Every structure is written in structure tokens, then in C-alpha cells.
Amino acid sequence: MNGGAVAAEAARRRTFAVISHPDAGKSTMTEALALHASAITQAGAVHGKAGRRGVTSDWMEIERARGISITSAALRFTYRDHVFNLVDTPGHADFSEDTYRVLAAVDCAIMLIDAAKGMEPQTMKLFEVCRHRRIPVITFVNKWDRPGREPLELLDEIEERTGLRPTPLTWPVGAAGHFHGVVERLTGRIVRYERTPGGATKAVETELSPQQAAAELGEDYARAREELDLLEAIGADHDQKTFEEHETTPVLFGAALPNFGVATLLNVMVDLAPPPAPRPDVTGARRPLDAPFSGLVFKVQANMDPAHRDRIAFVRVCSGRFVRGMVLTHAATGRPFATKYAQQVFGQDRATIDEAYPGDVVGLVNAAALRPGDTLYEQQPVTFPPIPSFAPEHFAVARVADTGKAKQFRRGIDQLDAEGVIQVLRSDLRGDQAPVLAAVGPMQFEVVQHRLAAEFGARITLDRLPYTLARRTDAAAEKVMARQRGAEVLRRSDGTLLALFTDRWRMATIQRENPDLTLEPLIADTTAVPDGVG
């Protein structure tokens, strides 16, 4: 296939993630987008009544039980002759590291905010990652069918907190909790929404004339017109260049659960969201889209299908055409990697994929050699920048409850470490039977316990350690630290030595007494990253 054909296929791709604070409705939005694209026939509900379906993207038992997303999942579907690769992300702050990896693979993000709560802490944390990566952001103000804040107040907060200038594409008719519909600013269309039972099918949309809207919606429509005049007066209009340069954010209003405004969001993704672009390698040079195949591994997940007990590496295609069966080179080792078993993934469901183009996400099965951040390529060598790890703040010693399951325990720990579910630290003093698990948030420990028991038959006990922060160190410091209280040096599976401390005061005291001690923040690359990432 020639380069022009690859570029044309890339132009049809939209690869994006939905970011939000927990409970803002992210998984519900993911499901609603798939519903409106006719990829599914009935939407699930993460917080519905007993007997209703779970969301497509939440496949793990613990996710369905808690009603939150813990792992990232890739959903692929077609809409208006465009291929959407929607990478769902964990909805809980404890799994920010997984979200960070996902954001290394997307070209755009939908920032979902609660109409009543506005910009919440986890939303801001994930937005900062988008800012760092210069990922364009489309804002969707969700839950407008429930009581919430004034729309102009929310716009002010978005601009104040993010520094992006909001440019509303739709404007609500009716205050939050009294949602009638929206006015589309670019076309002037007035759309009234009608709820379907439980929001399980597409919402009914009726176009109204200005005269009909004035007669049927009265003061709510009159107020919306006044606010629209104000937006026009201040020039809050969409500009594609400033959007793609991460200076403005298009804003839409709606409600994912009853599917209000979801079809409009899909159309905005087709019309405004950027397609894949040449990606910079470790030297800063951008690999052209029509160069030979290259891809970035951003996620590794085992046992998604209990019947097969396999391991899938999710690869974002960065350049060229992927063909199933092609033999690639693993940049980290220089070894060949065969792609006989390649799949597209829709939640837990899979189908063989024979070809893919820039922007697509390919699932490579039985990819035991691959880890998040690895590069695969054909012909022309390339290595993309590594994906930084978050600095752990919670630590616990893991021990298998039944010593007869020691083999399964070791295999499971190594598997979860390779996936990036948890960071695993070891030392000669503690031994291999008692590794230290290092986590960004304590819920990661619950996932490890659940998966070790469910997938490997190895129940574990966890003994929490008093440490709260980690710094990179060296072998010379390891000897010094061995004599200190409230501190310890352990080795991460990638060979990095980490010095752990009970608190900043203890770290400062030790450093003051040993001024030559090497203690560096956990920064995995040469660029600045948000606080807590390293």
C-alpha cells in the first residue's frame, strides 16, 4: 500500500480517551457513545438496579461489583465512515498510572465534568497530563438533567482552573435539573431531548423552530437566547487552530445516562477532533505516518478471557500499515516479534484483525516479552519515548497464605508487575518470598489480592509498611541506608534502586547527615512531568 493510502486511512481515525473525576459518568458516557454509533444495541449502567447490564468496557468482576473502572479497555467502532478507537480509562484516582499510560496513546481527550461539581481534583490531575502531552481537550458538561450550577459559572471555572478558553458549541435550554435541550451555536438548530426508559436506547431528538421553542419552552428559551448573545459578544467562538494548539476547549452540555447530547458529541469528534499525526521518537524527530510500521505498547493485560488465560499487549499504531502475521522488531531487545495472533478488542469481546492503520489499537495476544512503553517497528528502527511511572506512596509486604501455592504466587506477582498493575520491589534481606508491593493508591492492593486469588489461585496477606515516599538512589547509598531507621533501599524489577522513607522529615534528616547521598525524584524521562509522576 502506498503512503497516500496510509495517510487517507489515518485521516479516518479518531483515537481518544474520556477523562474525569470518579462518579462524573465516564463509563456511562463510554457506553452511550458506543450505543449511538450502533456498536451496541442497549446501553449498560454502572449504577443501575439489579439485573441491568454492566458497561461493556468494565469486564473485570471487581469492576462490575464496585461500579467503577479499574483497568483501561479499548473499544473500537465505526461512525460516519470514521474508525473510533475509544480507550476507556480507570475512574478512580488510585489507578492514575494506568490512565497516564493510556493518554500516551491518544490524539484527543473528552474531559467530562459534573454539572453540579465542576472541575474536581482527579479531573485536574488528568488534565495536567493532557497539558503536558499537548493533547487537545473537548469538554462535556455532564448530568445537566440533574440540579447543578449556572452554565456561565462553569465556563468561568474551566478557564480559571485549566487556562483554556471555553468555546461552547451547544448551549443548554433550561437550568441544570430542568433540561429541555440545546441550541447548536454553529448551525442555530434548536434540539429538544426526550428520555427513553432507563436511557437504554437513543434519546429522541426533535428539532424546533425559534417560534416553537419560544412558545413551548418560554422563559427558559428566552434566557438561553440572552446567554447566547453574551457569548457572541465576548467572542467565545470555536477556532480549530487554537483548539488543536491546546489553547481553547470546545464545550458541550448534555447528560450521558439518558443519552442527551451524545450524538452531537460523536459528530464533533468526527468534525473537529484531530486525526493521528506524526509521532516524535526519543530524539524528537517525527516519524511520518507513511513510514514503515511502528507502534507503541501502552497497556498489557492478562486473563481478560478466563477461558484462554492469555496476555494481550495493546499497541497504538503510530505509522504505516499493520498486517497480521508480519514479523516486527522489539526495540528494547532487538529481537523479532511475530504477530500471528492480532485482535481488535471491544470490551471483553474480541475479533481477529487483519490490518490496521495509524491511530488504531491492536491487541497482540501472548505477548509475554512486551511491557508498557515498548516500541515495535518494521524495517526502519525507531524508539518512542518511555512512559514515565508515578511515584508510589503506599507500600506493603506480600506473602502467600498457602505455601503450597508459592509457585503460583511468584508467577502471579511477576505477571502483575509486567502489566504495571503494581510496582514490585525486592531485596536480598527480604527474599523473593516476601516482595514489597508499591502503589500509587491503596485500591491497587485490593486488585492485586483479587487477581492473585481469582486468576492464580494464590491468596495473599499484606502487611503495610510505614513508608510514604520514594526516591531513586544508587548502590553507594544502599550501604549507608542499611544503618538508618525509618528508611530502606529496595530494587525495582527494572533494576532501579529506590530509597523509601517514612516521611519527608526523616528523608531530610538522613540527607543532612549524609550530604553525598544520591536521592533523586522519580523522573523516567528528560521532560518535565506533573507532580507525582516519575
Same domain, 342 and 211: no
pLDDT (tens digit per residue) in 270-329: 999 999 999 999 999 999 999 999 999 998 887 665 555 678 899 999 999 999 999 999
Same domain, 337 and 412: no
The residue among 238, 271, 304 that closes a domain is 271
**What percent of the chain is predicted at pLDDT more than 90?**
59
Report whether 249 contacts 162 (CB < 8 A): yes
pLDDT (tens digit per residue) in 122-152: 888 888 888 888 999 999 999 999 999 999 9
Same domain, 284 and 262: no
For 287, the grid coordinates are: 516519524
DSSP code for 67: T
Query: At residue 531, does pLDDT exceed 50?
Result: no
Q: Which amino acid is at 380?
A: Q
CATH of the domain at 340: 3.40.50.300
Comparison of pLDDT for 55 and 380, the residue scoring more: 380
90 annotated to a ligand binding site: yes
Task: Domain count for the chain, please give it.
Answer: 3
Same domain, 263 and 323: no
Same domain, 46 and 178: yes
The residue among 343, 377, 411 that closes a domain is 377
Q: Domain residues for 77? A: 3-271
As a whole number, mean pLDDT of residues 17-36 equals 86
| Residue 529: inside a domain | no
Same domain, 27 and 124: yes
Give 378's pLDDT tier (boundaries 50, 70, 90): very high
Same domain, 63 and 196: yes
349 annotated to a ligand binding site: no
Same domain, 402 and 453: yes
Same domain, 197 and 113: yes
CATH of the domain at 424: 3.30.70.3280
For residue 156, give the H/E element and its range. helix 151-162
Minimum mean pLDDT range among 40-44, 71-75, 202-206, 215-219: 40-44
Same domain, 363 and 233: no
| Residue 469: inside a domain | yes
pTM: 0.81
Query: By CB neighbour count within 10 A (0-12 exposed, 13-18 middle, 19+ buried), where does 364 fall?
Result: buried
Comparison of pLDDT for 89 and 379, the residue scoring more: 379
Same domain, 162 and 310: no
Comparison of pLDDT for 528 and 88, the residue scoring more: 88
91 annotated to a ligand binding site: yes
Report whether 478 contacts 488 (CB < 8 A): no
* CA-based nearest residue to 487, from 509, 464, 520: 509
Helices (H) and strands (E) in the chain, counts: 13, 30
Same domain, 188 and 112: yes
